[in-house]
Structure 1
Amino acid sequence: MPTLTMAAEAERIRSSVTLTDVRRATVICFLAWTFAVYDFILFANLLPVISGDLDWDSAKATGVNTWVTAGTALVAFLVGPFVDRFGRRAGIIGCVVGAAVASLLTWLGGYAAGAIGLAGIVLLIVIRSLAGVGYSEQAVNATYLNEMYAHVYTDEKSMRRRGLLYAFVQGGWPIGAVIAAISIQILEPIGGWELCFVVAVFPALLIPLAARRLKESPVFEAKRRIEELRAQGRTADAAELAHLTGQKESAPQAGVRALFQGESRRATLTLSIAFLLNWVGILAFAFQGTLILVNGKEISFTSALQVLIVSNLAGFLGYLFHGWLGDRISRRTTISFGWFVSSLCFAVMVLGPNGNFGLLVAAYAVGTFFLIGPYSAMLFFNSESFPVETRGTASTFINALGQVGAIIGGALFTATLSAAGSSAAEQADAWIRAGLIWGCVPILLSAVAILFARNVKPLSGMSAHSPSSAPSASTA
């Protein structure tokens, strides 16, 4: 009978993933994200060396970096539909392989940029834009692990650990950034900047081998099977399996267009605005915070690596704290709280007394803790806010807007500094003004914007419904 057959099918899907599978997936996703960050960070850190090797002035180097950032955003936009069509597991493998290919080909792009001029520079930009698949790893991880955790961590006690577990995975960002900085110090004197990118390929290639043992999420597996039944004309069986696995019985729309329709529209708009605004602030402080301290606040750092380690340690601890807090007071509230406190801390940094090392560096570290940390809750919150049909597309779409925010932030910072006078005092004032207006204010606005999103409940079991549209979801 069809009912028995579909009941057996539902049980097969439900039993296909065990707690051991989920733990293995957590480790593999952590390593995949760490190595993706390693490649993603390398280019920005090595850009001064590459510029010197290719005789680029600062304007050309900045222009190349801007075009690379734009290309990264474009590639990142394309990852989501792939993940929603071919699966979360395929997305994870594809992101890591793409990052490895980008690393391997970067030396070729650099050689071409020096040998054939403009055409070579365009080739380098295209190659580095492929790193957008590595940047998307965090969004794919969040989508995949959210569905996997919802499948095995179902009792009240374990449900309150989901965010914290994902926070450890997201901690691959600061770890990958520190590894990249250390590798540059070791490898660049030996074989130049090209060796750093070539070496980055080898650990990344290990991840696809390990990822062969990843199981597809039961939610996506059920979705795929229901689509197969509908394609075969077995609509009654499809409806029965959808009912047994907690999915919608009618075929919902997918793709980017669906993000701006129905219940998804509110989540898409609010999360996108919050993410973009916050990345304007991230450009100011996560990427240029030390420059503000040095050029605007008369703080001298003797070791850039030490500053990098301090800031990334603060970010790692921030991930854990906000992942833990989001499990308890809701992710939306956690994100808003963290970004609000961050804006205040950075305001203290930019407005505090010049030369006060203890106060300014403490404000910088605490501000980083509350700026970066909420992303362990933010990325999880993204995937909880959309149905399975568009969950990957939505997460990567919103994630890609971070690169758009970085471009906007860079342009605003550059305009403010360019409009200032040439004296040291005028330049210092410009750094302070830019940090306050294009750093603190966007972060504060992002903390407000996130509150306009629905406060959703975590996914449960094999249900693919967006909590924002589920009857039990809070709409506060």
Structure 2
Amino acid sequence: MSTVQPTQFVESDVQPKDVRLATWICFFAWTFAVYDFVLFGNLLPQLAEHLGWTGAQSTEINTWVTAGTAIVAFAIGPIVDRIGRRKGILIAVAGAAVASLLTAMVGWVVGLAAGLGLVFLVLVRSLAGLGYAEQAINAAYLNEMFAHNSDPAKAKRRGLVYSLVQSGWPVGSVLAAGSVYLLFPIGGWQLCFVVAALPAIFILWAGRWLKESPQFSHRHQIDQMIKAGRLEEAQVLGQKYGIDISEKASPLVSVFRGESLRSTVTIGGAFLLNWLGVLAFSILGTSLLTAPDGKDIAFNSALLVLIISNATAFAGYLFHGWLGDRIGRRNAIGIGWILCAISFFTMLQAPNGNFPLIVALYSAGLFFLIGPFSALMFFTGESFPVHTRATGSSLVNASGQVGAIIGGLLITATLAAGSGWINAALWWGVIPILASGLLIFAARNVDPRTVRTD
């Protein structure tokens, strides 16, 4: 791994204002992508009621949607490693917007052709995987942009700054829950999805000012030289910018080789396990909270719980971003997820009638579940070289959806067997979260005081 201390920087035409602009655009792009992504889970009980699905049927459909999301989220990684980070961000935003608009048509299509309508729903929500992939693209892009920040003080708090970008998850989740609360009585779930597509117009317009990351530009230039047979020039340029030109395999192959392999297995495995918990407690949170065999809370009250707890999760992002800059991102992630498992276990055991206690414990759970992702995505970006950074980040990111697929199948089977939401969330939420917190410690630790330039 090629690293330099924070006081040493590679010459670049990227200015501090370019980094600031990129940071804000990535924050809003991720926020609006999450808005659409989480909206489907929040409205799933209402879609199920409108379309006549049972609880087991709705989670089964969500599992198929998750499978499509995983395929799309992974497929975009190798593409971004070839076309660039900037174009990848714009593609992800546009894909999420199209998915929102088409989702609003689901009820009409299902009404005309029941079976084909469900296939249409799965395909449309799979396209939303482009929005989910936004965080992996952001991680690769901002990791490279922050490496060229000329301010040593800011370089030392890169994790905290990135946590503000990644906090788009709780912000988007709060917007999603708030929009359901305000828009659902006016125009039903269809209006909620139509409104979710509108912010993409702003991001696509603002994206004109995004600069491509210097690391990708340099690597792309080196690859072009190698293809043209200009090996000596490529070697000189690689030495100048600290880029290893010996790796000529495609990113999809390289991500399973050398230093990338350990990161792929450990971080990807932890991400996969943790997403069983994300599915149980975040994506399907309204189902767990409102089900009679769950916490038996009224739907409107459940939305209030989601708003409060996701606001708390925002603080969790900042805390884990700050903590990762001090004790290392890997350590911050592991400690956070272990505390998350403890919080959710206690919440499941709490009496259903004790609303304040449920809110407090659910909020604590999301604080330690979602918060570490601010450190995780940046940690993922700095664990892969530029040649495989977007592919590796996307593979890790997509592994979360694989975990959600597994979790969906297991939760569906548990509910179909009549065990109820409490048991389902315990076995396929709490325990996998605890396992993910332990597994992440097997990943290679990265000194937060170093800046990766390759």
The answer to whether the superposition gives a TM-score over 0.5 is yes
How far apart are the structure 1 equivalents of 2:237 and 2:212?
18
Q: Identify which range, 111-120 or 122-131, moves more after superposition.
A: 111-120
Partner residue in 1 for 2:227: 231
| Candidates 373, 383, 386, aligned match of 1:385 | 383
Contact 1:39 1:200 survives alignment (8 Å): yes
Match among 410, 417, 431 for residue 441 of structure 1: 431
Q: Distance in 2 between matches of 1:104 and 1:126?
A: 13
When structure 1 is superposed on structure 2, of 64-73 and 215-224 the one drifting more is 64-73
CA apart distance, 1:134: 0.2
**Inter-partner Cα distance in structure 1 for 2:244 and 2:220:** 13
Q: 1:331 to 1:243 in 2, by over 3 A?
A: same
Aligned mates of 1:306, 1:142 — CA distance in 2: 30
For the residues of structure 1 that align with 2:277 and 2:121, how far apart are their CA atoms?
28
Q: 1:55: how far off?
A: 4.0
* Structure 2 residue 262 is the aligned partner of structure 1 residue 272: no
- Which residue identity is paired with 1:407? I
Q: Tell me if 1:220 matches 2:216.
A: yes
Cα displacement (A) at 1:258: 1.6
Match of 1:335 in 2: 333
Equivalent residue number for residue 72 of structure 1: 69
* Alignment deviations for residues 438-457 of structure 1 (CA, whole Å, 9 cap, x no partner): 22211111111001110023
Q: State the distance in 1 between where 2:346 and 2:114 align.
A: 45
Tell me how far apart the structure 2 counterparts of residues 113 and 297 of structure 1 sit (CA, whole Å).
29
TM-superposed deviation, 1:45: 2.5
Q: Match for 1:260 among 246, 256, 259?
A: 256
Cα distance in 2 for partners of 1:184, 1:218 equals 41
Indicate if the aligned counterparts of 2:382 and 2:452 stay in contact, CA closer than 8 A. Answer: no
Question: Equivalents in 1 of 2:396, 2:112: separation in Å?
Answer: 37
Deviations along 1:105-164, whole A, 9 cap, x unmatched?
223444222212222221221112100000010111111111111110562x32221011
Instruction: Give me the whole-angstrom Cα distance separating, in 2, the residues matched to 1:208 and 1:38.
Output: 16
User: Could you report, residue by residue, the CA deviation over 1:178-209 in whole angstroms, capped at 9, with x for unpaired residues?
Assistant: 21222233333333333322222221122111
Instruction: In structure 2, give the amino acid aligned to 1:158.
Output: K
Larger mean Cα displacement after TM superposition, 455-464 or 245-254: 455-464
Residue 4 of structure 1 corresponds to: none
Residue 193 of structure 1 aligns to which amino acid in structure 2? W
Q: Structure 2 counterpart of 1:116, which letter?
A: A
Q: Check the 8 A contact 2:60/2:408 in 1, yes or no.
A: no
Whole-Å separation in 1 of the counterparts to 2:43 and 2:288: 20
* 8 Å CA contact retained: 1:167, 1:319: yes
**Distance in 2, Cα, partners of 1:399 & 1:64:** 21
- Corresponding residue SS for 2:250: coil
Report the CA distance between 1:80 and its aligned residue.
Answer: 0.3
Query: 2:48, 2:58 within 8 Å by CA — same for their partners in 1?
Result: yes
1:471 aligned residue = none
- In the other structure, the counterpart of 1:372 is 370
Residue 211 of structure 1 aligns to which amino acid in structure 2?
G
CA distance in 2, matches of 1:353, 1:124: 37
- Whether the 8 Å CA contact 1:14–1:462 is kept in 2: the answer is no
Instruction: Judge conservation of contact 1:345–1:367 (CA < 8 Å) in 2.
Output: yes
Cα offset, 1:296, TM superposition: 5.7
Query: In 2, Cα distance between the equivalents of 1:226 and 1:310?
Result: 49
SS of the equivalent of 2:255 reads helix
Cα offset, 1:59, TM superposition: 4.5
| TM-fit CA distance, 1:437 | 2.4
Aligned AA (2:44):
L
Within a 5 Å distance, the mapping from 1:317-328 to structure 2 comes to 317-328=315-326
C-alpha distance in structure 2 between counterparts of 1:153 and 1:277, whole Å: 37
Post-superposition shift, 1:37?
A: 1.1
Q: How does 1:44-443 map to 2 (within 5 A)?
A: 44-152=41-149, 155=152, 157-289=153-285, 292=288, 295=292, 300=297, 303-352=301-350, 355-420=353-418, 430-443=420-433
Partner amino acid, structure 2, of 1:73? A
1:20-48 residue CA offsets vs partner (Å, 9 max, x unmatched): 00000011001101111111122222333
Q: Does the 8 Å CA contact 1:412/1:438 hold for their aligned counterparts?
A: yes
With 308-317 and 110-119 compared, the bigger mean Cα shift is at: 110-119
- What residue is the counterpart of 2:7 in the other structure? none
Mapped to 2, the partners of 1:265 and 1:149 lie a distance apart of 24
| CA distance in structure 2 between the partners assigned to 1:299 and 1:197 by the alignment | 27
- How far has the Cα of 1:16 moved from its partner? 2.0
Largest Rg, 1 or 2:
1
SS of equivalent to 2:209 = coil
Are the aligned partners of 2:312 and 2:366 in contact in 1 as well (CA < 8 Å)? Answer: yes
Given that residues 147 and 219 in structure 1 are in contact (C-alpha distance below 8 angstroms), is that contact kept between their aligned partners in structure 2?
A: yes
Q: In structure 1, how many angstroms separate the alpha carbons of the residues matched to 2:68 and 2:449?
A: 33
- State the distance in 2 between where 1:333 and 1:59 align: 37
Deviations 1:305-326 (A, max 9, x none): 3211111012111000000000
Tell me, in whole angstroms, the C-alpha distance in 2 between the residues paired with 1:379 and 1:78. Answer: 18
Specify which of 34, 46, 56 is matched with residue 31 of structure 2: 34
Q: Hey, what's the Cα distance between the residues in 1 that align with 2:439 and 2:341?
A: 14
Fraction of identical pairs, as percent: 54
> How far apart in 1 are the matches of 2:289 and 2:62?
23
Kindly provide the amino acid, as one letter, of the partner of residue 345 in structure 2.
A
Unmatched tracts of structure 1, length 5 or more: 1-12, 421-426, 465-476
The 2-side partners of 1:64 and 1:108 are apart by: 17
**1:392-411 alpha-carbon deviations (Å, 9 max, x no partner):** 01111111111121122222
1:355 is displaced (CA, Å) by 4.0
Q: Which has the higher contact order (CA 8 A, sep 6+)?
A: 2
* Alignment RMSD: 2.3
Per the TM alignment, residue 252 of structure 1 is displaced from its structure 2 partner at its CA by 3.5
Q: Is the 8 A contact 1:153 1:162 kept in 2?
A: no
Choose from 448, 455, 474 the match for 2:445.
455
- Report if aligned partners of 1:99, 1:134 keep a CA contact under 8 Å in 2: yes
CA distance in 1, matches of 2:256, 2:81: 16
Q: Is the 8 A contact 1:154 1:460 kept in 2?
A: no
| Residue 241 of structure 1, CA deviation | 0.7
Q: Which amino acid aligns with 2:181?
A: Q
Partner deviation per Cα, 1:402-428 (whole Å, 9 max, x = no partner): 1121122222223233334xxxxxx6x
